[in-house]
Amino acid sequence: MSRNTFVCLLFSQDVDTAFQTEAAVAAIADALDKVERSGFQEALQQLLSLEQVDSKPCGQEIPVGRCGHSACLWESSSSQEDAEFHDNEIASTVGLQVVVFGGCGGVKYERTALADVWSLDCNTWAWQQHTFTGTSPAPRQGHSAVVKGNMMFVFGGWSSEGNYNDLFAYDLENRDWCEVDAPWPGGGARWNMCGLLVHARPSTKFFIFGGASSEASENPRRFQTHLCSDIGVLTLAEECHWDFITTVSAAAAAAEQRETVERSGQLKRRGQGSIANSSQQAPAATADLPLPREGATMAYFAEDSTLVVFGGWSGKWLGDLWTCCVSSVVGPPYAVLGLSPPCGPMTGGTPIILKGAGFTTGSIIVRFSVGDFFADVPGTFVSSTEIHAVTPNVKSALGA
């Protein structure tokens, strides 16, 4: 029997996942070599006499098949003391884990809404199901989840039992759920949106775009839902809160920029950005704005503070690509937290100290503004938390 015939016979059966391990692959290769040297029967007997490799480490279960779930990367830092405190339920690890929550699935053709939490150790590839406490979310799919530090935030989703616009936080180290008091300003439930985390100072942002929505508290029929094209942003602070950002097309932003008035001297009129915080939803879609959609994907380009959205469904499959600058929402990668002397009446030529976080070396410009006018002066880097500058003399420019 030829090598190819042997391979066809071997893999025409329902091969257990154990044969996908390196040890099994090596054993198969060795058996194939022996076919040529000693014969098929002897090689097959040796192969089948091997001890099967357990694809479920430590006898643990693996997540049931599912779709519509979330998967987030988490850098854990559990210690042995933590594991002992939790009766060894939490593995002692320091590394990356993938945290999976919810979805819809089951065995074979089951369609059960899920609310379980699993973590996959990226070093050992071992799954572990979480046993948690607290007020947990209802089973759901189509939600959006992000991880900040040791907290996972879950927003929205749907199931056959209902539709959701609630927000939950899950402590990944202590394995405890709680519902976050951050009312959703968008009205109805939201699901099948895309979401991501953007690190910013002083507060990290959780962006979502698009998705499907309905005012119905129970699972609506398809014609009772509508698709969305707005951008929501959750500020993750001591008191979390949602906002919508108003978007304009690139053409409108360029026209607005051309109308910006610049004044001579040190004082210049500030132009308006293309995005600003707003409690209103984004305007209706036009040829210059994305169609409302669900099932899109979104990424973030930190260098330009830009969201990148691709594809989705809007009555047809979409393959378009859109970018949206959110620099006015995210802000710079630093934060000014204080000023010395305290902010108040100051004359030109006054030395000041800016206190903050995330300052870096390089060209530093400190801007002073009054109303629509501003003046820039150079700043001196002292440390990541301190910058020195001297106030500008704008007396003549103000006509005083």
Q: What is the CATH number of the domain that holds 171?
A: 2.120.10.80
In the beta sheet, which residues pair with residue 241? 235
Q: pLDDT above 70 covers what percent of the chain?
A: 66
**Whether residue 195 is found in the same domain as residue 324:** yes
- Split at pLDDT 50, 70, 90, the class of 177 is very high
Residue 73 has pLDDT above 90, yes or no: yes
Q: Is residue 396 part of a domain?
A: no
Neighbours of 289 (CB within 10 A): 18
Write down the pLDDT at residue 268. 33
Write down the pLDDT at residue 44. 54
Residues contacting residue 245 through CB under 8 Å, at least 6 positions apart: 231, 232, 233, 275, 276, 277, 278, 282, 326, 329
More confident: 49 or 152: 152
Q: Is residue 214 part of a domain?
A: yes
Q: pLDDT tens digits, residue range 282-340?
A: 334 445 889 999 999 999 999 889 999 999 999 999 999 999 999 889 988 788 888 88
More confident: 101 or 216: 101
Write down the pLDDT at residue 348. 81
Q: Is residue 399 part of a domain?
A: no
Structure tokens at 280: 């209103």
**Whether residue 47 is found in the same domain as residue 65:** no
Q: State the average pLDDT over residues 250-264.
A: 49
Residue 215 has pLDDT above 70, yes or no: yes
Q: Is residue 400 part of a domain?
A: no
Q: How far is CA 130 from CA 170, 254, 390, in A?
A: 11, 51, 55
**Whether residue 121 is found in the same domain as residue 253:** yes
Q: Is the dihedral of CA 281, 284, 289, 294 positive or negative?
A: positive
Q: Is residue 170 part of a domain?
A: yes
CA separation for the pair 261, 335 (Å, rounded): 28
Q: Which amino acid is at 151?
A: M
In the beta sheet, which residues pair with residue 351? 390
Residue 216 has pLDDT above 80, yes or no: no
Domain range spanning residue 356? 335-390
User: Residue 299 half-sphere exposure, CB side, CA atoms within 13 Å?
Assistant: 6
Comparing CA positions, the residue from 142, 291, 159 lying closest to residue 226 is 291
Write down the pLDDT at residue 170. 98
**Whether residue 245 is found in the same domain as residue 344:** no
**Whether residue 130 is found in the same domain as residue 169:** yes
Residue at which a domain ends, from 330, 355, 375: 330
Q: Is residue 395 part of a domain?
A: no
**Whether residue 258 is found in the same domain as residue 313:** yes
**Whether residue 145 is found in the same domain as residue 26:** no
Q: Which amino acid is at 189?
A: A
- Split at pLDDT 50, 70, 90, the class of 346 is low
More confident: 134 or 3: 134
**Whether residue 22 is found in the same domain as residue 69:** no
Write down the pLDDT at residue 262. 37
Interhelix angle 3-11/22-38, nearest 10 degrees: 140
**Whether residue 305 is found in the same domain as residue 320:** yes
**Whether residue 230 is found in the same domain as residue 379:** no
Residue at which a domain ends, from 283, 311, 330: 330
**Whether residue 222 is found in the same domain as residue 345:** no
Q: Is residue 359 part of a domain?
A: yes
More confident: 188 or 5: 188
Q: Is residue 349 part of a domain?
A: yes
CA separation for the pair 356, 334 (Å, rounded): 7
Write down the pLDDT at residue 118. 97
User: What's the mean pLDDT when you consider all of the chain?
Assistant: 78
Q: pLDDT tens digits, residue range 10-55?
A: 333 344 444 445 665 566 666 556 555 555 566 556 555 555 434 4
> What is the 3-state secondary structure of the chain?
CCHHHHHHHHHCCCCCHHHHCHHHHHHHHHHHHHHHHHCHHHHHHHHHCCCCCCCCHHHCCCCCCEECCEEEEEEEECCHHHHHHCCCCCCCCEEEEEEEEEEEECCCCCCEEEEEEEEEECCCCCEEECCCEECCCCCCECCEEEEECCEEEEEEEEECCEEEEEEEEEECCCCEEEECCCCCCCCCEEECCEEEEECCCCCEEEEEEEEEEECCCCCCCHHHCEEEEEEEEEEECCCCEEEEEEECCHHHHHHHHHCCCCCCCCCEECCCCCEEEECCCCCCCCCCCCCCEECCEEEEEHHHCEEEEEEEECCCEEEEEEEEECHHHHCCCCEEEEEECCCCCCCCCCEEEEEEECCCCCCCEEEEEECCEEEEEEEEEEECCEEEEECCCCCCCCCC
**Whether residue 275 is found in the same domain as residue 372:** no
Total domains in the chain come to 3
